[in-house]
Amino acid sequence: MNALQPHWPVLVVIAPLLAAPLAVLIGRHRLAWAAATAASLCSFLLALQIAAQVRQTGPMVYEMGSWAAPYGIALMVDAFSALLLVIVCGASTGGLLVAARGLGNDIARHRLPLFYAAWLLALAGMAGIVVSADAFNIFVFMEISSLATYILVAGGQRREALTATFKYLIMGTLGATFYLIGIGLIYMMTGTLNLADMELRIREVGELRPILVAGGFVTVGLALKAAVFPLHTWLPNAYAEAPHAVTAFIAACSTKVALYVLLRLDFFVFQGNVPGHGAQFTGFILPLAVVAILAASVLAARARELKHLLAYSSIAQVGTILLGASMVSVTGLTASVAHMYNHALAKGALFVAVACLGTLHSQLSVEGLAGAARRMPLTMAGFVVAGLSLIGLPGTAGFVSKWYLVLAAIELGPAGVWLIAPVLAASLIAVIYIWRVVEPAYFGPSDPALPRREAHWSLLLVLWGVALLNLYFGLRPDFTLTLARQAAEALLSVSN
Partner 1 sequence: MAVFGLYNYWMFVALLMIGIYTIMSRPNLIKKLIGMSIFQSAVFLLYISMDKVEGGTAPILKPGATDQIYSNPLPQVLILTAIVVGIATLALGLALVVRIRESYGTIEENEIRELDRQ
Binding site for partner 1 (CB under 8 A): 136, 139-140, 143, 147, 150-151, 154, 159-160, 162-163, 165-166, 169-170, 173-174, 177, 180-181, 184, 187-188
> How many CB atoms are located within 10 Å of the residue 179 CB?
28
- Nearest approach in angstroms of CB 107 to partner 1 is 13
Full 3-state SS string of 57-112 = HCCEEEEHHHCCCCCCCEEEECHHHHHHHHHHHHHHHHHHHHHHHHCCCCCCHHHH
108-111 long-range Cβ contacts below 8 angstroms, 24+ apart: 109/29, 110/29
- Nearest approach in angstroms of CB 359 to partner 1 is 25
Cβ–Cβ under 8 Å, residues 145 and 129:
yes
* Burial tier of 184 (Cβ tally within 10 Å: 0-12, 13-18, 19+): middle
Residue 134 DSSP SS3: strand
- Nearest approach in angstroms of CB 140 to partner 1 is 6
Q: Longest C-alpha distance within the chain, in Å?
A: 73
Cβ nearer to partner 1, comparing 308 with 436: 308
- Nearest approach in angstroms of CB 319 to partner 1 is 25
> For the chain, how big is the Rg over CA atoms in Å?
21
Cβ nearer to partner 1, comparing 181 with 286: 181
- Nearest approach in angstroms of CB 31 to partner 1 is 26
Cβ nearer to partner 1, comparing 143 with 489: 143
- Nearest approach in angstroms of CB 404 to partner 1 is 38
Q: Can you tell me the distance from the alpha carbon of 292 to that of 224, in angstroms, rounded to the nearest whole number? A: 13
Residue 60 sits at φ, ψ, to 5 deg, of: -105, 130
Q: Which residues, in sequence order, are CB contacts of 235 under 8 Å at separation 6+?
A: 227, 255, 311, 314, 315
Q: Which residues, in sequence order, are CB contacts of 265 under 8 Å at separation 6+?
A: 135, 195, 218, 219, 222
Count of alpha carbons within 13 angstroms of residue 406, beta-carbon side: 14
> How many CB atoms are located within 10 Å of the residue 108 CB?
11
Q: Can you tell me the distance from the alpha carbon of 14 to that of 127, in angstroms, rounded to the nearest whole number? A: 10
The letter for the amino acid at 420 is I
Cβ nearer to partner 1, comparing 107 with 492: 107
- Nearest approach in angstroms of CB 172 to partner 1 is 9
- Nearest approach in angstroms of CB 132 to partner 1 is 14
Count of alpha carbons within 13 angstroms of residue 371, beta-carbon side: 13
Nearest to 367 by CA among 485, 446, 432, 420: 446
* Burial tier of 478 (Cβ tally within 10 Å: 0-12, 13-18, 19+): exposed
- Nearest approach in angstroms of CB 68 to partner 1 is 17
- Nearest approach in angstroms of CB 225 to partner 1 is 14
- Nearest approach in angstroms of CB 174 to partner 1 is 7
- Nearest approach in angstroms of CB 163 to partner 1 is 6
End-to-end CA distance of the chain: 38
Q: Can you tell me the distance from the alpha carbon of 426 to that of 409, in angstroms, rounded to the nearest whole number? A: 15
Cβ nearer to partner 1, comparing 81 with 146: 146
Q: Can you tell me the distance from the alpha carbon of 116 to that of 267, in angstroms, rounded to the nearest whole number? A: 35
